[in-house]
Amino acid sequence: MEQKRRKLRIPDLQQRKRNGEPLVQLLVTNHRDAAVADSFGADIITASDAAGLMLFGMDSSTDMTLDDMILVGRGIARNVRTAICLVAMPYWTYQVSPQQAVENAGRLIQATGADGVSCEVNRHHRDAVAAIVQAGIPVQAHIGLSSQRSAQLGGVRGLGKTMDEAWEFVDDASAMAEAGCFSIIAELLAAEVTGHIASTVPIPVISIGSGGSCDGAGGLFEDLYGLAGTHVPRHAKVYHTLGPMLEEGMQNFVADIRARTYPQREHSVVMEAAEARKFKTSITRRNRSTAAS
């Protein structure tokens, strides 16, 4: 009989880093994917603001509001039993002031039941992040590529590929560790940079397209199955391409209904034979009664 996994805690992640055990993180947008990731051993599961694109058809994840993330995060947190569950803080919910950051982080945790929050940050957000941590809410810092700062960073591109830019992200990571973050997720940073960061900060560093020298790796659930759109990110490893399968299934479903080959008897609720005969007889009687009147 398989032993039931216990709920992970923040100190467990730090111990894994010390032991050199790679951590697995999934960014998910719905409760079903969260349950799958949790059942197969993910260590950290984040309710991602990518739900804006994947679920709500928004043009950008920056369109997500705090109420939107509460809706998404609540369903995800309910289905995460053993992993550490985080909720991404949406754009402009923590950038104004430390007080704003604490109030909104607290509302997210209270309304969703998640274990902590994830914030797209740099060293200039240190005070806001420190305030959230001091309020008793675990924070994962998301550095490197940021949808919330895409225009400022020059769009979607690899970062930290020059010496000067590399040190900017090293400073970001150091500031977040000093602010009390329990981990860092580094997205699309040069592998040399994240390797240095992972070896110098005391908290786990998770790579998304940032090389294999970190304390673990992660990605967006939809990217694993080619469901995030027509463009597949270079850093994503697609394990199964489900898009064509879904399209074929829908094409066959529509065709079956048009041809009246679906539904068949095996797909339907039916009466027992005796009841069906009685019902048919009652129809005849009712029709005669109606005609006579």
CB burial string 69-95: b at 16+ within 10 A, e below: bbbbbbbbbebbebbbbbbbbbbebbb
Distances (CA, A) of 154 to 115, 146, 158, 237: 33, 10, 10, 24
Amino acid symbol at 67? D
| Tokens, residue 230 | 């027509």
Give the 3-state secondary structure of residue 156.
coil
Amino acid symbol at 122? N
User: Catalytic pick from 21, 103, 120, 187?
Assistant: 187
Strands (E), 49-126: 84-88, 116-120
- Between CA 179 and CA 132 the distance in angstroms is 9
Tell me 124's DSSP state: G
Strands (E), the chain: 23-28, 44-47, 84-88, 116-120, 139-144, 183-187, 205-208, 216-220
187 is catalytic: yes
Tell me 233's DSSP state: P
The residues annotated with a catalytic role in the active site are 187
